[in-house]
Structure 1
Amino acid sequence: MKIAVTYENGEVFQHFGHTSQFKIYEAEDGKILSGEVVPTGGKGHGSLAGFLKEKGVDTLICGGIGGGARTALAEQGITLYPGAAGNADEQVQAFLSGSLSYDPDTQCSHHGEGHTCASHDGGHKCHN
C-alpha cells in the first residue's frame, strides 16, 4: 500500500491544491516500511491526482481539498481521507491502526487569497 500525505515541516499541509510536496509512505501489514518526501515540481490542483497515481499512491491523507480535486482523485482510484491535521507520520500510523481522525465532509469551497475551508475544526484557514 502507498499512502501520500500533503506535507510541510513534518505536518499535514492544509490545502491539497497548493501543496509543494507529499510524503509518500510504503506500508504493509499495518506497519510503515518507508517514507519519502517528494516535491510536486510546481504541479497544482488538477494535475496532482495524476502525479500521485504515477507514484503508485492508492490512499491520500490531507487537510482541506476542493470538489474538483476530489473528483480527480476518485477518477484515479485514490481513496481520500480529508480533514486530517497534525504530525504526518503520526497520522499515517493512526490510519494504519484504524484510529485516524478525519472529516470526510471537509471541503474547500473556492480558491484565492484568504479563503476558508469547512473542516473538522469549524473553518480553519487553508495555507496559500
Structure 2
Amino acid sequence: MRKIALPSSGETVSQHFGHAPQFVVFSVENNHIKDKNILKNPGHRPGFLPKFLNEHGIDTVISGGMGQKAVDIFEANGINVICGASGDVEKIVVDYLADNLTTDQNACDH
C-alpha cells in the first residue's frame, strides 16, 4: 500500500507545504484510493516534516510549492515530491494515479 500526502487548507492543496495546517493522506492500493485521513501539521521546523511524514509511511507528497532544500531532504528520506499542483486534493490524487496530473510552476521559489 502506498501513501500520498498533500498539504491542505480544508480540501484545497496548500501552495506552501510546510505552512499548511494539515496534510490529507490517501492510502492507495492498485492505483485506487482505499482510505483518506487527516494528519495535523505538528509545526514547520527545518528538516522535520520529511522525517515525520516518512515515519507515517508517506512515500509521495504533492504540493503547490516547496523550497528546493526541502525537496532534497524529502528525496533523501525516500519520499517522491511533486510540486506545482493546485485545486481539490482528491481530484489531484485521482489525476496523479491516472497519470493525468497537470502541474504549474512550483509556487515556492525560495
- TM-score, normalised relative to structure 1: 0.79
Give the partner amino acid of 2:14: F
- Structure 1 runs not aligned, ≥5 long: 111-128
Check the 8 A contact 1:73/1:79 in 2, yes or no. yes
| Letter of the structure 1 residue corresponding to residue 51 of structure 2 | G
Q: Indicate how the Cα distance of structure 1 residues 88 and 45 shifts in structure 2: closer, same or farther if over 3 A, else same.
A: farther
In the TM superposition, what is the alpha-carbon distance from 1:43 to its structure 2 partner?
3.7
Residue 3 of structure 2: aligned partner: 2
Deviation at 1:20, TM superposition (A): 2.1
Instruction: Please tell me whether residue 108 in structure 1 is matched to residue 108 in structure 2.
Output: yes
Q: Is the 8 A contact 2:18 2:43 kept in 1?
A: no
For residues 14 and 61 of structure 1, what CA distance do their matches in structure 2 show?
Answer: 10
Q: Give the Å deviation of 1:45.
A: 4.1
Question: Can you list the C-alpha shifts for 1:63-117, whole angstroms capped at 9, x where unaligned?
Answer: 11101101110110100110000000100010111101124x626233xxxxxxx
Q: Distance in 2 between matches of 1:68 and 1:95?
A: 24
- Distance of 2:4 and 2:64 partners within structure 1: 14
Quote the Cα distance in structure 1 between the aligned partners of 2:6 and 2:77: 16
Determine helix, strand or coil for the equivalent of 1:48: helix
1:49 aligned residue: 50
Query: Which position in structure 2 is the counterpart of 1:77?
Result: 78
Higher relative contact order (CA 8 A, sep 6+): 2
Q: Percent identity?
A: 35
Query: Normalising by the residue count of structure 2, what TM-score does the alignment of the two structures yield?
Result: 0.91
Structure 1 residues 45 and 23, CA, compared in 2 at 3 Å: closer, same or farther? farther
